[in-house]
Amino acid sequence: MSRELIRMEGICKYFPGVKALENVDLVVHEGEVHALLGENGAGKSTLIKILNGVYKPDAGSIYVKGEKKEFHSVNDAQACGIGIVFQEFNLCTDVSVAENVFIGRLKTNALGMVNHRQIARDTQKILDEVGLHSIKPTDIVRRMSAAQMQMVEIAKAISTNADVIVFDEPTASLTENETQILFGIIRRLCSQGKGVVYISHRMEELKEIADNVTVLRDGQKIGESFRFADMPMDELIRRMVGRELKDKYPVYKRKIGDVMLSVDHVKNRKVNVDHIEVRRGEIVGFAGLVGSGRTELARAIFGADPVDSMEITLNGKRIVNKSPSDAIKNGITYLTEDRKREGLALRMTCEQNINMSSWDHYVRNGFVSRKMAVENAQKQRERFEIKTPSLKQIVNNLSGGNQQKVVLAKGLSHDTEIVIFDEPTRGIDVGVKFEIYKIMNQLSDEGVGIIMISSELPEILGMSDRIYTMHEGKVNGEVAGAEASQELLLKYIANLA
């Protein structure tokens, strides 16, 4: 039996009106990838924040290599060998890789100046240790891809001499090839005797990377931890959501009408697209690699990025979107892929976020009608089944899935003709995914045209009536949903079709 690195026993944590964790255990051994699974709001993030010293448990104990410890800060956890690689990057983008890796621990010379040569050498050793040959210590972070930034976060965690490294949704921004590189790094870390806690909602990844699994639901551990290979996938999902999910995607027959949106001759420094169209009630999927131009096209249509040329026709009428406010007035809504940086004001309440883009609807005699604003927020809370103790709850305190529902509620609080969903289910669990798919179908019933950008091909295939593929800023394929397959889409995405 391999050596035990971390043991969390009987962990409890309560917030006002919320039981976040109740008597939860987690054990991680050296050389092990231990998957921590559960729906959004199940308590995974709270448990990891306790392990990382962000929160102090209300009850329970933490043991590191058999010795009982109390973490009062992140520094305490780091000193005991705990490292975290969060889904949202925590990097200083205008400085080098080496400076990010040793931030807060920069080595100085006799004159008190930062010893850049020393931290560069130490960073290079770490990069070599895990096989990160595509990154140099002197590279400036803002010039790097999302995948490379992920690797910098990994190097930061390793630089603290971490024995246990937590990966929180590490592949959310990675391509398939980049994901395989990450898996190689994780395997190398395990071969060096380190333990890995792996949080992901992508079930297919677990087949490749997970050794053992702990499932949380509603703040409690469901059954004992088990070997991933010993648990059928249907049973695993049942443990996570507390019910059977017979279908990942709602069985649905849409009523598709005439063309309502035509976009022609879109050109700027990142995209060059001749034509796309969306019919009434249709879900049009956009597939492509990260950086293929899908989000850039959506932002251009929404008026968020400048263009050299573009023609938009909506319901037979030519419109011009010079800004997002123009797009919203013209009936186009864009739900961003980056909910934390672009979709939400994290320190504001649920009510404030939901009403943020539609305050003008509640103005009467020059004043905002507080009553109307509260009524709308409550209506949207019920419509999207947002789980929160109160509309006064700060959005940052919600789970990822409920934050995504607030993004939907905000974007769909006003009338809309076209909705662009950019990675609508990134970082959320299978149960909430199903709810979002049902919302998309309801919008289709109302005659709304939908553009869905997704990096998950099963999602594209499961929800799209028609699919465009993109490569290097151009649309290089169009496939009817009924005729599409994963193999065919991959050929287009790689520009081999």
Query: For residue 140, what pLDDT band results from cuts at 50, 70 and 90?
Result: very high
pLDDT of residue 243: 59
Query: For residue 246, what pLDDT band results from cuts at 50, 70 and 90?
Result: low
Question: pLDDT tens, 94-110?
Answer: 889 988 888 877 777 76
pLDDT of residue 56: 93
* Residue that is written with structure tokens 């662009």 in the block: 420
pLDDT of residue 173: 67
Judged against a pLDDT cut of 80, whether residue 382 lies above it is answered with: yes
Question: pLDDT tens, 183-217?
Answer: 988 998 899 999 999 998 777 788 899 999 999 98
CA atoms of 487 and 497, how far apart (whole Å): 10
DSSP H/E element including 198: strand 195-199
Query: For residue 240, what pLDDT band results from cuts at 50, 70 and 90?
Result: confident
Query: For residue 112, what pLDDT band results from cuts at 50, 70 and 90?
Result: confident
pLDDT of residue 497: 67
Query: For residue 218, what pLDDT band results from cuts at 50, 70 and 90?
Result: confident
Q: Stretch 399-410: mean pLDDT, rounded?
A: 84
Query: For residue 418, what pLDDT band results from cuts at 50, 70 and 90?
Result: very high
Two tokens at 494?
């790689």
Q: By the 8 A CB rule, do 388 and 351 touch? A: no
Judged against a pLDDT cut of 80, whether residue 76 lies above it is answered with: yes
Two tokens at 135?
């990154």
CA atoms of 452 and 298, how far apart (whole Å): 10
Two tokens at 70?
């109390």
Backbone torsion region of residue 110, taken as left when φ is above 0, otherwise alpha when ψ lies between -120 and 50, otherwise beta: alpha
Query: For residue 387, what pLDDT band results from cuts at 50, 70 and 90?
Result: confident
Q: Stretch 84-93: mean pLDDT, rounded?
A: 78
Judged against a pLDDT cut of 70, whether residue 247 lies above it is answered with: no
Q: By the 8 A CB rule, do 417 and 315 touch? A: yes
* Distances, alpha carbon 145 to alpha carbons 103, 139, 164, in Å: 20, 12, 26
pLDDT of residue 318: 96
DSSP E strands, 1-132: 4-15, 18-29, 33-37, 59-64, 67-69, 82-85
Q: By the 8 A CB rule, do 35 and 6 touch? A: no
Mean of pLDDT over the chain: 87
pLDDT of residue 88: 67
Question: pLDDT tens, 16-54?
Answer: 767 889 999 999 999 999 999 887 678 888 999 999 999
DSSP E strands, 123-239: 164-168, 195-199, 212-217, 220-221, 226-227
Q: By the 8 A CB rule, do 136 and 97 touch? A: yes
Q: Stretch 364-390: mean pLDDT, rounded?
A: 83
Judged against a pLDDT cut of 90, whether residue 10 lies above it is answered with: yes
Phi, psi of 230 (to 5 degrees): -90, -5
* Distances, alpha carbon 258 to alpha carbons 301, 311, 444, in Å: 20, 19, 13
Question: pLDDT tens, 49-74?
Answer: 999 999 999 999 999 999 999 999 98
Between 32-41, 233-242, 295-304, the lowest mean confidence (pLDDT) is in 233-242
Mean pLDDT: which of 104-108, 127-131, 319-323 is highest?
A: 319-323
Q: Stretch 72-77: mean pLDDT, rounded?
A: 91
Percent of the chain with pLDDT over 90: 40
